[in-house]
Structure 1
Amino acid sequence: MTTTDHSMPGHATRPAHRDGNVLRWLTAHTASLVGDSVYFVALGWSAQKAAGPAEVGLVMAAGALPRALLMLVGGVVADRFDPRRVILGSDVLRCLLILSVAAGIALTAPALWILVAVALVFGAVDTLFVPAIGALPPRITSPDQLARVTGMRSLSMRLSQIAGPPIGGLAMGLGGAAAAFTVAGLLFALSLPFLWTTRVRPLERSEGEQPESGTARQDLLEGLRYIRRHRLVGPLVVAGVLCELGLISTLNVGMVLLNAERGWGPSGYGWIVSGFGAGAVAGAALLTVAGWLPRAGLALAGTLLVCSAGAVSVALVPSLWMAVVMALVTGSCAGVFGGLNNALVQTATAPAYLGRVTSVVMLAMVGLAPLSYPLVGAAIGAWGSAPVFVGCGAFACLGVAVILTSGAIRSAELPRPPRRGAEERPVPSQEHGARHDSARGEHTPSGAAENAQQGGGAEQQVQDGLGTPLTTRTRTDGTLG
Structure 2
Amino acid sequence: MEAVTAPTGRVRIFDALRHRDFRLLWSGQAVSLLGDMAFVTALGWRTFTLAGSSRLGVVLLCESGAMLATLLVGGVLADRYERRRMMIVSDVWRFAAVGAIALVDATGHLTFPILLGLAILVGLGDGFFYPAVGGIVPLVVEQPALASANSLMGIARWGSLMIGPSLAAFTYGAGGASVVFGFNAATFLVSAGLIWLARPRAVETPPREGTLREIRDGARYVAGIPWLWVTISLFAVVLMLQYAPQQVLLPKLVHQHFDRGVGAYGLLTTSLGVGTVLGTIAFGVLQPRRRRGVVAYTVWLVNSAAIAGLVLSPWFPLASGLAVLRGACLAFGVAIWETMLQELVPEHLLARVISLDVFGSFGLMPVGLAIWASVANVAPPGVLIASGAGVSSVLVAIALTRRWLWEID
Give the TM-score category using the shorter length. 0.7 to 0.9
TM-score when normalising by structure 1: 0.70
1:134 maps to: 134
CA distances 1:399-426 after superposition (whole Å, capped 9, x unpaired): 343354143x42333xxxxxxxxxxxxx
Corresponding residue of 1:227: 222
Q: Which amino acid aligns with 1:304?
A: W
Measured after TM superposition, the shift of residue 239 of structure 1 is 4.5
**Is residue 138 of structure 2 the alignment partner of residue 144 of structure 1?**
no
Please state how far the C-alpha of 1:339 moved relative to its aligned partner. Answer: 1.4
Select between 385-394 and 326-335 the one with higher mean Cα deviation.
Answer: 385-394
Give the whole-Å Cα distance in 1 for the aligned partners of 2:41 and 2:85. 28
* Correspondence 1:175-214 to 2 at 5 A: 179-204=179-204, 211-214=206-209
Distance 2:303 2:386 in 1: 12
Asked if 2 retains the 8 angstrom alpha-carbon contact of 1:247 and 1:396, the reply is no
Structure 1 gap segments, 5+ residues each:
1-6, 206-210, 414-481
In 2, the alpha carbon distance for the partners of 1:355 and 1:125 equals 16
Counterpart selection for 1:238 from 214, 233, 236: 233
Deviation at 1:347, TM superposition (A): 1.6
User: 2:378 is matched with which residue?
Assistant: 381
Q: Which amino acid aligns with 1:399?
A: V
- List alignment gaps of at least 5 residues for structure 2: none
Q: Letter of the aligned partner of 1:264 in structure 2?
A: F
- Following superposition, the deviation at residue 75 of structure 1 comes to 1.6
Identity score, percent: 23
Contact kept, 8 Å, 1:239 with 1:400, in 2: the verdict is no
Letter in 2 for 1:161: L
In structure 2, which of residues 250, 253, 260 is the aligned counterpart of residue 266 of structure 1?
A: 260
Distance 1:118 1:307, change over 3 A: closer
Does 2:282 correspond to 1:248? no
The alignment partner of 2:364 has SS state of: helix
Does 1:344 pair with 2:340?
A: yes
Q: Does 1:412 align with 2:408?
A: yes
Shift of 1:148: 2.5
Greater fraction helix: 2
Q: CA RMSD in A?
A: 3.8
Higher relative contact order (CA 8 A, sep 6+): 2
Q: Does 1:393 align with 2:387?
A: no
- The 2-side partners of 1:108 and 1:258 are apart by 28
Superposed displacement of residue 27, structure 1: 0.9
Amino acid across the alignment from 2:222: I
Distance 1:375 1:58 in 2: 10
Specify the code of the residue in structure 1 equivalent to 2:240. L
Find the counterpart in structure 1 of residue 293 from structure 2.
297
Indicate conservation of the 8 Å contact 1:239/1:403, yes or no.
Answer: no
What residue is the counterpart of 2:25 in the other structure? Answer: 25
Aligned-pair CA distance for 1:94: 2.4
**Cα deviation, residue 79, structure 1:** 1.6
Contact 1:32–1:188 under 8 Å retained in 2: yes
Name the counterpart of 2:302: 306
Number of residues paired by the alignment? 399
Closer/same/farther in 2, CA of residues 39 and 260 from structure 1, 3 Å limit: closer
Describe the SS at the equivalent of 1:73.
helix
Which protein shows a greater Rg? 1
TM-score (norm 2): 0.80
Q: Rate the CA distance shift 1:291–1:124 in 2: closer, same or farther, 3 A.
A: same
AA aligned to 1:353 is L
Give the structure 2 partner of residue 79 of structure 1: 79
The 3 A distance-change label for structure 1 pair 223 and 179 is: same
Encode CA deviations 1:167-196: one digit per residue, 9 max, x unaligned: 445555666565444322321111223212
Deviation at 1:19, TM superposition (A): 3.1
* 2:300 partner amino acid: L
Once the 2 structures are TM-superposed, how far is the Cα of residue 20 of structure 1 from its aligned partner? 3.1
Separation in structure 1 between the aligned mates of residue 255 and residue 104 of structure 2, nearest angstrom: 40
Q: Which amino acid is 1:25 matched to?
A: L
Instruction: Give the aligned partner of residue 124 of structure 2.
Output: 124
Q: Deviations over 1:374-416 (max 9, x none)?
A: 5457399369956973563343442343354143x42333xxx
1:357 corresponds to which letter in structure 2? V
Quick one: distance in 2 between partners of 1:21 and 1:58?
39
Give the direction of change, closer, same or farther, for the CA distance of 1:287–1:77 in structure 2 (3 Å limit): same
- The alpha carbon displacement at 1:41 in A equals 5.7
SS of the residue 1:381 aligns to: coil
Alignment check: 8 A CA contact 1:316 1:386 kept: yes
